Structure 1
């Protein structure tokens, strides 16, 4: 209703009210571009806000397309640059990704005859009118209730964490079944699968990054609280003090996310309580191993809560946050917005990024379509490019399936169009009456029934439009069919040549690289801890930066892998994936977080026996990671579709060296979490979920702790 109303009002206003066919055309396609072709996430009012923000970009594209269209070579070069830039902007989050196809159309439209820069004013007037009408329709017609914001979800999860921490600080010092269920439910609510796409904190800005960091830290805190084992006796005063301080900071964090005061006071209180427990735990000779293991688990809870509070403060106050933390943990807090965009773009500027692959694929396909249309002077060559834009998919199989349906629908629409044009002839009044009804029908049925119906209905729609702009015959349907055939063929060719398997191979390759890099970091970390301060490796070392970059690429590949269309039978191509890809991402985040925490000074030299045990455990964990990496890598010598199961390794961590110090138990706690991730890795499709890095909150050092992307 919204798109049909905006497009019809704009078209009739200029075509019959002001007698400006050029402005009428641009008003109609301006509304169709962002309202029909784009898939902007969110409610109507959220979409309206996005459209209003990109209106200046629309003007630029119409101007550039108009002036570059006078020569084929300049139009082709412009299509290559504009096509890649708009598609690559998908790295900025769901909104830039959703609006990109419509912006592509607004450059394509003026790239074809008539090559008339003198009509630029009419083109801009029509485009602006169509988009303003669409914004008004999205804002006013059928207003939808706003979904729960991610900040509110995080605030509720923080309240739950506060309740759980209070329960753990009083007898019997364990969580009941109801509390565990509540923690699990609130943690699940922060997963991408459960969050509307428009509410996901996916942008490169300070507040978006901090909000994503807050969600990761809250999820980690809830998981750690739920897993905290019951103590063998009443816990020490320092332990209960930490848990009470965690509850206080979680409560303050929830208030901060709801525009309350900064959690500075509770943050400092928890920092002091954590330091006291750490000092107490350092007296290893006075405690049993099971108590030291409990201390290590509580210290991890404190770390997650501290990261949560600091991140939430940056969500609300941005670069003016009051909670001070080491600059490397929230490096983005003081970085200007253009630099943050540069980091995001640079992080994906490589052939292993699926965003880069998609941008190259669509840019080359559109460039080829524009070249063919210019050389062969296709009548209505705009339709060929529109077919390339709308039918090209991320995999060859999906593209082939889409094209087959589209050609079938276009053929049916062309036959109906030919019959209509033959019967009605030049009686434009008939077309004027039928057009708005057909628009409503097409924009309602097309998205519901699929690409075949959409192409068929749109074929009739454009015929009804062009028949009112100039005398048309049944040959218009023939031209439409030819253009769609050419455009879809170009899309199929580039789908075959440019990464035809989409994210399938890239997901395996990215996961394999992530595990290889994580194995290196595990070995380096355990060796540094075993050797003491003399051999400490800084958290900003190249290995950590490489691991974070590997996590970023794996998350983007996983996002596309989950969104790629299924095959004809409704199942993903090939056998069900034997890998829980999400566990791979969790392992990467856990490796980053734990390594940075363990390498924080001061670090004391471990006894010889303990040092050997730490190094041995690290090497075993790295060996398991390398084994899984080799099985995942599609480019290896013996790539395998089956991932070996990693048996639980709890027994390896239960034999403590005599007199082991506190840091040994911190290492063990970290390695045990990695072992749990690897155990889940080979369980496959049964535990897969479609949220990107859902438990990516391997911890506070997750996606917010290092520079790239």
Structure 2
């Protein structure tokens, strides 16, 4: 009881919805009253109000007010197009439904563009739904556009100027902080006692965690398809890898070689310069060149043996250390290049390797095309969601048109807002929505019966009710939101036409129709949401990774080439696409509720650390690309055989985990097997093994650690 009361009266719970409610209510009421009573243009009044509700209330654009205002400004031309197309296609039910199918899919699928595109899409859907219903009146298009433009303009001003929120640290600031931490760790490793303290390790771990997508606000995540977003994501991944590699080095192994110390000092300088670059400083060109030179000296020192020689200049322990330091250098170089690309784009000063940074010189529309093609298939959760909502909205439009459902766009609005990505979530939402709508309809009937045709009463009550609805609804849930919104729309339409209590009846009928349609398509179209797709994508990722592990190990062991003419190693594009699909499925899986009213979901996911699965894909890509770069040392026969064998063994473990994750496999309910990370081959020291051998074994060992975390990870998500 005390918890319920605390939730009801907790100021923190209502702070953000309250600020949003003030902005939306002020804009909607201002636009509606100016056009309805000041200028006597009811059509413009309706569109001004519903534009504010659509883009300010229904849309969930992440970020600060100024960031949301920028998104809305860019969306203005699209708003006009949707109103024009909706008006033109409303001439016939079939044309309006066909338009709904195309528009609904396109807007929903635009979520592949990142959180902002996904957030504004529901509001844009409503801007097509509103004019797509009778009466077919092209003559009112001018008023519709005027009202829409006024609503957007007022909302942009309100978002930018009213009740501003504190901006969280940007991704660039987070990456810069992590780079500074990496610089500090590298300096400690370069100076006696050449080890990291417990505080250093804790700082490195915290800096890496701050760059994980789950710990970054949606508006700051580099999730878009453009060059800058890709480069920022690349910067974060490279920085996290650098911190991990530095932490692994910091065990104190005695006095290192001067060449090792020089590399670590150069890493520290580049990491510090990269942090400055991310804070709008100069390109880290000089530190980058210094690290390239230091890395080349260390690589040349321990590169042998060459073909025809069998004498190793260094002990195996030293070669392992050199391989680990070169991995640190590679991560630092990738971080510097990615950061320079993120800040300066095509004007970046650092040389860009063609394979790893394939997007650096690609035209922006082609990058968008690449993202769209990557998700244009039934295995993408973005594609599934777009198909589901487009079919549901089209069916609702057909039903509303064929049955001449009064206020049929309410049915479509219910379909849009109540359809969820899982069957359980949809049914649960529909039950709450119908209960809330029934309660709201009863309140509406009472208000209409008491107030009658006195529009002054409705005019006074509307802004107050909007403020309550947009504050309480998001906090108390879908039932409250639907009930409060039912009264709200009645207060609006009571000022546009003579009201009767039948308005409450129509509202209840529309929500019932829209809910049933949404529930039906929630059952028919991928009813388990991201659950199965995440398992399938993770299984496919590990299968592709296993192929690359075998090919890369064989290439390192025998000196065979696996690169395509484009310079991208064979199979890497397929694995890259698998990683993208798995990441999007994981993001949706994180947002889907796991229980309703204390009841467990129909099929609870097995204990899997999905983040470790994704990192296994990234580590496979990065490690393979690094090991395949020339020049290559030639392994002796004993080392070559040992390396090929351990590569096949690690790949076999990947396939075992993949088979357990695959929902369509022979044993889809089998638990993920535990992976032993103590392979005897990892500690082997063949007499003819050069540094390349130990670098490859270190990569395979890190992949085995990723596999072990997959089955021993968190028990929930």
| TM-score interval, smaller chain | over 0.9
Deviation of 1:641 after TM superposition, in Å, equals 4.4
Matching residue within 150, 158, 167 for 1:137: 158
Distance in 2, Cα, partners of 1:527 & 1:480: 67
Distance in 2, Cα, partners of 1:129 & 1:607: 75
Deviation of 1:537 after TM superposition, in Å, equals 6.9
Distance in 2, Cα, partners of 1:65 & 1:45: 29
Task: Verify: 1:359 aligned to 2:386, yes or no.
Answer: yes
Deviation of 1:136 after TM superposition, in Å, equals 1.2
Distance in 2, Cα, partners of 1:34 & 1:146: 21
Distance in 2, Cα, partners of 1:572 & 1:341: 39
Deviations 1:444-478 (A, max 9, x none): 10111000000000000000000000011111111
Between 1:551-560 and 1:597-606, the stretch displaced more is: 597-606
Distance in 1, Cα, partners of 2:536 & 2:465: 47
Matching residue within 553, 560, 571 for 2:588: 560
State whether residues 36 and 45 of structure 2, in contact with CA within 8 Å, keep that contact through their aligned partners in structure 1.
Answer: yes
SS in 1 for 2:88: helix
Between 1:277-286 and 1:235-244, the stretch displaced more is: 277-286
Deviation of 1:113 after TM superposition, in Å, equals 1.9
Deviation of 1:533 after TM superposition, in Å, equals 4.4
Deviation of 1:134 after TM superposition, in Å, equals 1.1
SS in 1 for 2:336: helix
Distance in 2, Cα, partners of 1:534 & 1:451: 58
Deviations 1:488-511 (A, max 9, x none): 100011111110000000011110
Deviations 1:626-676 (A, max 9, x none): 001111101011212411111222533001111311110010110010011
SS in 2 for 1:332: coil
Alignment of 1:202-351 (within 5 A): 202-230=223-251, 232-283=253-304, 285-351=312-378
Deviation of 1:130 after TM superposition, in Å, equals 1.1
The answer for the alignment partner of 1:695 in structure 2 is none
The answer for the alignment partner of 1:119 in structure 2 is 140
Task: Verify: 1:161 aligned to 2:182, yes or no.
Answer: yes
Distance in 1, Cα, partners of 2:139 & 2:227: 43
State whether residues 533 and 601 of structure 1, in contact with CA within 8 Å, keep that contact through their aligned partners in structure 2.
Answer: no
Question: What's the Cα RMSD here?
Answer: 1.3
CA shift in 2, pair 1:380/1:426, >3 Å = same
Distance in 2, Cα, partners of 1:43 & 1:410: 32
State whether residues 524 and 537 of structure 1, in contact with CA within 8 Å, keep that contact through their aligned partners in structure 2.
Answer: no
Deviations 1:594-616 (A, max 9, x none): 11111112223311111100110
Distance in 2, Cα, partners of 1:569 & 1:236: 62
Alignment of 1:528-539 (within 5 A): 528-533=555-560
Distance in 2, Cα, partners of 1:461 & 1:33: 14
The answer for the alignment partner of 1:387 in structure 2 is 414
Task: Verify: 1:670 aligned to 2:687, yes or no.
Answer: no
Distance in 2, Cα, partners of 1:280 & 1:125: 72
SS in 2 for 1:685: coil
Alignment of 1:548-587 (within 5 A): 548-569=576-597, 573=601, 574-575=603-604, 577-587=606-616
Between 1:12-21 and 1:651-660, the stretch displaced more is: 651-660
State whether residues 369 and 490 of structure 1, in contact with CA within 8 Å, keep that contact through their aligned partners in structure 2.
Answer: yes
The answer for the alignment partner of 1:485 in structure 2 is 512
Task: Verify: 1:189 aligned to 2:210, yes or no.
Answer: yes
Matching residue within 624, 643, 650 for 1:595: 624
State whether residues 229 and 294 of structure 1, in contact with CA within 8 Å, keep that contact through their aligned partners in structure 2.
Answer: no
Between 1:99-108 and 1:570-579, the stretch displaced more is: 570-579
SS in 1 for 2:165: coil
Deviations 1:530-552 (A, max 9, x none): 11146777762441111111111
The answer for the alignment partner of 1:474 in structure 2 is 501
State whether residues 426 and 471 of structure 1, in contact with CA within 8 Å, keep that contact through their aligned partners in structure 2.
Answer: yes
Between 1:644-653 and 1:589-598, the stretch displaced more is: 644-653
Distance in 1, Cα, partners of 2:678 & 2:80: 61
Deviation of 1:572 after TM superposition, in Å, equals 6.2
SS in 1 for 2:495: helix
Task: Verify: 1:31 aligned to 2:21, yes or no.
Answer: no
Matching residue within 439, 449, 464 for 1:422: 449
Deviation of 1:43 after TM superposition, in Å, equals 1.3
CA shift in 2, pair 1:625/1:572, >3 Å = farther
Distance in 2, Cα, partners of 1:119 & 1:535: 64
Unaligned runs of 5+ in 2: 1-21, 306-311
Alignment of 1:650-689 (within 5 A): 650-686=679-715
State whether residues 194 and 254 of structure 2, in contact with CA within 8 Å, keep that contact through their aligned partners in structure 1.
Answer: no
State whether residues 533 and 603 of structure 1, in contact with CA within 8 Å, keep that contact through their aligned partners in structure 2.
Answer: no
SS in 2 for 1:513: helix
Distance in 2, Cα, partners of 1:149 & 1:535: 39
The answer for the alignment partner of 2:3 in structure 1 is none
CA shift in 2, pair 1:663/1:374, >3 Å = same
State whether residues 89 and 96 of structure 2, in contact with CA within 8 Å, keep that contact through their aligned partners in structure 1.
Answer: yes
Distance in 2, Cα, partners of 1:481 & 1:334: 55
Task: Verify: 1:510 aligned to 2:510, yes or no.
Answer: no
The answer for the alignment partner of 1:13 in structure 2 is 34
Deviation of 1:286 after TM superposition, in Å, equals 2.1
State whether residues 529 and 536 of structure 1, in contact with CA within 8 Å, keep that contact through their aligned partners in structure 2.
Answer: no
SS in 2 for 1:187: helix
Distance in 1, Cα, partners of 2:524 & 2:150: 40
CA shift in 2, pair 1:651/1:571, >3 Å = farther
Deviation of 1:571 after TM superposition, in Å, equals 7.2
Distance in 1, Cα, partners of 2:284 & 2:303: 28
Distance in 1, Cα, partners of 2:171 & 2:470: 31
State whether residues 179 and 275 of structure 2, in contact with CA within 8 Å, keep that contact through their aligned partners in structure 1.
Answer: yes
CA shift in 2, pair 1:286/1:230, >3 Å = farther
State whether residues 69 and 160 of structure 2, in contact with CA within 8 Å, keep that contact through their aligned partners in structure 1.
Answer: yes
State whether residues 61 and 107 of structure 1, in contact with CA within 8 Å, keep that contact through their aligned partners in structure 2.
Answer: yes
Number of aligned residues: 688
Deviation of 1:575 after TM superposition, in Å, equals 3.7
Distance in 1, Cα, partners of 2:697 & 2:582: 26
State whether residues 555 and 585 of structure 1, in contact with CA within 8 Å, keep that contact through their aligned partners in structure 2.
Answer: yes
| TM-score calculated relative to the size of structure 1 | 0.95
Alignment of 1:58-69 (within 5 A): 58-69=79-90
